[in-house]
Amino acid sequence: MAFDTRFYLSIFWRRFPYFLIVATVVAALGLAIASILPPTYRSQALLLVESEQIAIDKPATRTNLSEILQRIRQQILARATLLEMADKLDIYPADSELTPDQIVEDMRARTEFHVEQKKDEAPILRISFAAESGDLAARVANEFVTRVLKEHAKIMRGQATEVLRFFEQEEKRLGQELDRLNKQILEFKRDNRDSLPDSLQFRRARQTSLQESLIRLEQEQAELQDKRKRLVELYKKQGMIGLSQENLTSEEKALQLAKAELERALAVFSADNPKVKVLRARVEQLEKIVLGQRGAEGGDGDSERADAVNDANKTLYDLQLEEIDGRLSFIRRQMNGMQEELARLEETIRETPANALRQAELERDYSLIRAQYDAAVAALAKAKTGEIIESRSKGQRIIVIEQPVVPDAPASPPRLLIAIGSVVGGILLGLLTVILIETMNRAVRRPADITAKLGITPIATLPFVRTRSEAIRRQAVIYTSLALALIGIPAGLYAVHTYYVPMDVLLQTVMDKTGLSILIERMRQGGA
């Protein structure tokens, strides 16, 4: 079925009063709001964040720029600051019924504090304030700028002072820690000077040398003990040692030779060997002869000679024993001293690994503290330089590149936009109302509908004709509704705005309740 333009136009004309009422009400409401809303003036300042005029490496504790600006924003938008400004600048009248919380929220809503920074460009700080008059907006914006500059200078100086004080305390603390560790290392080395790893190689060499010397002394001791044993045995057997051959008889000389030969034979053969038995018999025979000769002589001269020989022999024996015993005593003392020293060396060598670990631990702690101390000293020098730079205002600065001025025209509300929007919205809403009414109306209104729904073709159709009184009543309702819309809505809004609550506050409350204010703020920030 073809689109019947004439039919739909007739329907629209029939429902035109509804369209006109809805469009008029919406347009009147929008126009009234646009005319009633008070003007809002916004004064804006632009500030440029300059980098340091004298560039130095900042200590690790220095706060970066974004954190500093965030601290400034929080400080100037703090509750105490805003209430102080509201009282100082008379932003709200003395008879205002707003609570302190409402004043703070209202001032925060009027204030804009944004940081704009592009790549490789200095950050720009944008501060603005909205008020009912341009003069008030400019005064408040100027107050914000003054407080931002003061707060930034205070933060930078305070930060430089705090950093300096921190590194002074850190340098002092680490210095004391170094002194303590140094003293501890010295005491450890003094208490363990004989078992430190530095002298381990020397002590091992000394240990080897003492062991070799001890072996040599043990060999010499064995030789001397053997010599003493043989000397004693010889004296016991012969009763004489080392006498001159001139004082001996031929039998005595033969006896000595026989004894020497017997000793050599015993060293080779056993005691039952025939040769040994023959030599022993000969020795016994010669001993008897010598004893017989000494007894037969019996004279005083011979007796004196024998006594002199015995005394000389005894003296020589005693001297040799004394010499051997003295040397043995000296060797024993040397060996005891060496063994004691070897015991001490062994103990110190055994203690060296543990002492090495402890010394390495102390030296490692000392190295770590020393590195921290050196870093603190370097940071302290930077902090002193930074403190001097900040005290002379040669560090990071915020300069005003655009002062807040009294605006010539209000920044809001956009009256023309609200008016156009309300008219367009009224028209669209009126059309939507007509479409909705016709959609819900299922009545048959033309022959084509009869044919489509009933399946019959009518011969003729009669239209519905209102009486004159019905037409007059209908027109009266329409015109009354239009009059109420055009006069009552603006008058009602004006009364609410004047006697109950300002329209801007009412709209803001409605937007806060419905969440539209948050949505608009996010859209604005996203666009910025």
| pLDDT tens digits, 80-107 | 999 999 888 888 887 777 888 988 998 8
For residue range 210-237, what is the model confidence (pLDDT) as tens digits?
899 989 888 988 888 888 888 787 777 6
Q: In this predicted structure, what is the pLDDT of residue 142?
A: 92
Lowest mean pLDDT among 54-68, 160-174, 188-202, 272-286: 54-68
Please identify which residue in the block is written with the tokens 């003392």: 333
Task: Give residue 505's pLDDT band: very low, low, confident or very high (50, 70, 90).
Answer: low
Please identify which residue in the block is written with the tokens 């190295």: 367
Three-point CA angle 329, 334, 335, nearest 5°? 95
Can you give the pTM of this predicted structure?
A: 0.47
What is the number of alpha carbons within 13 Å of residue 68 lying toward its C-beta?
A: 24
Q: In this predicted structure, what is the pLDDT of residue 528?
A: 41
Please spell the DSSP secondary structure of 452-493, one letter per residue: HHH----S--------HHHHHHHHHHHHHHHHIIIIIHHHHH
Higher pLDDT, 54 or 80: 80
The arithmetic mean of pLDDT across residues 505-524, rounded, is 58
Q: 3-class DSSP state for residue 92?
A: coil
For residue range 452-485, what is the model confidence (pLDDT) as tens digits?
666 666 666 666 566 777 767 766 776 676 666 6
Rounded Cα–Cα distance for residues 49 and 397 (Å) = 6
Residues 6+ apart with CB under 8 A from 219: none
For residue range 367-378, what is the model confidence (pLDDT) as tens digits?
998 898 888 888
Residues 6+ apart with CB under 8 A from 225: 328
What is the number of alpha carbons within 13 Å of residue 399 lying toward its C-beta?
A: 9
Rounded Cα–Cα distance for residues 103 and 106 (Å) = 5
Q: In this predicted structure, what is the pLDDT of residue 527?
A: 42
The arithmetic mean of pLDDT across residues 100-127, rounded, is 84
For residue range 133-148, what is the model confidence (pLDDT) as tens digits?
888 899 999 999 998 8
For residue range 4-40, what is the model confidence (pLDDT) as tens digits?
677 667 777 777 777 877 887 788 777 777 776 677 8
In angstroms, the Cα distances linking 377 to 27, 62, 179, 203, 365 are 74, 16, 16, 41, 18
Res. 78: pLDDT tops 70: yes
Higher pLDDT, 343 or 156: 343
The arithmetic mean of pLDDT across residues 442-455, rounded, is 63
Task: Give residue 526's pLDDT band: very low, low, confident or very high (50, 70, 90).
Answer: very low
In angstroms, the Cα distances linking 315 to 230, 304, 318 are 17, 16, 5
Rounded Cα–Cα distance for residues 267 and 258 (Å) = 14
Q: In this predicted structure, what is the pLDDT of residue 244?
A: 46
Res. 513: pLDDT tops 80: no
Q: Which residues of 341-357 are buried (b: 16+ CB within 10 A; e: fewer)?
A: eeeebeebeeebeebee
Q: 3-class DSSP state for residue 431?
A: helix
CA 347 to chain centre: 45
Count of beta carbons in the 10 Å neighbourhood of residue 243: 16
- Which residues face 126 on adjacent strands? 46, 114
Rounded Cα–Cα distance for residues 130 and 404 (Å) = 12
